[in-house]
């Protein structure tokens, strides 16, 4: 709640009123936890493949100066679907009870010079999406084959997967409770 003692600039300094829309408001139970009670989360990672990097997109998309094989990336992304042990995509130093996660959506879509990787699942490991994107980019650059994604998952070894993609370009676009 915003009050005179908590001006907008203190509560949300980077958001302006036109940055978001409220569709519904519902009182949460006292024990509600936004992170741990989510049934599903959906992310998109945006890659800009324009020949020249745009300074306007620099903070919002990862610029890649390479022709990407989108078909191979799409094929590779399908290996992520279902329940798997995602240890190969776990950030170093992470402490979790289990590395098994279920992915229900994993698709690569292009629109002009933009590549969008959509992924949805019951939960994600720290840097999991960015580590997957780093691996998909290796597939897109033809340094890995699409079926290598299946092998990387099975190996349960972070050193077998691609590098961690940078944070710009990653967006949480939906949460289901």
The pTM assigned to this predicted structure is 0.85
Residue 78, Cβ density class (10 Å: 0-12 exposed, 13-18 middle, ≥19 buried): middle
State pLDDT tens for residues 28-47: 889 999 888 899 999 999 99
Query: What Rg do the C-alpha atoms of the chain give, in angstroms?
Result: 18
State pLDDT tens for residues 82-134: 999 999 999 988 889 999 999 999 999 999 999 999 999 999 999 999 999 99
What is the per-residue DSSP string for 76-119?
HHHTT-EEEE-GGGPPTT---S--EEEEEEEEEEEETTEEEEEE
Contact 49, 69 (CB under 8 A): no
Contact 161, 153 (CB under 8 A): no
Domains of the chain by start residue, with CATH = 40-174 (3.30.70.660)
25: helix, strand or coil: coil
138 vs 11: CA distance, rounded Å:
40
């Amino acid at each position: 709640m915003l009050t005179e003692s908590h001006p907008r600039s203190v509560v949300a300094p980077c958001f302006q009123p036109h940055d978001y829309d409220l569709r519904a408001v519902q009182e949460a139970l006292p024990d509600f936890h936004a992170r741990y009670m989510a049934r599903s989360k959906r992310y998109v990672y945006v890659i800009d493949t324009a020949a020249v990097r745009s300074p306007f997109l620099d903070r919002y998309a990862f610029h890649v100066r390479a022709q990407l094989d989108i078909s191979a990336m799409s094929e590779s992304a399908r290996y992520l679907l279902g329940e798997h042990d995602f240890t190969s995509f776990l950030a170093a130093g992470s402490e979790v009870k289990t590395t098994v996660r279920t992915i229900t959506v994993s698709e690569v879509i292009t629109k002009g010079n933009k590549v969008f990787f959509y992924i949805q699942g019951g939960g994600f490991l720290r840097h999991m999406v960015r580590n997957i994107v780093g691996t998909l980019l290796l597939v897109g650059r033809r340094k890995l084959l699409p079926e290598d994604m299946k092998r990387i998952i099975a190996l349960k070894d972070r050193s077998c997967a691609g590098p961690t993609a940078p944070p710009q370009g990653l967006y949480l676009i939906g949460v289901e409770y």
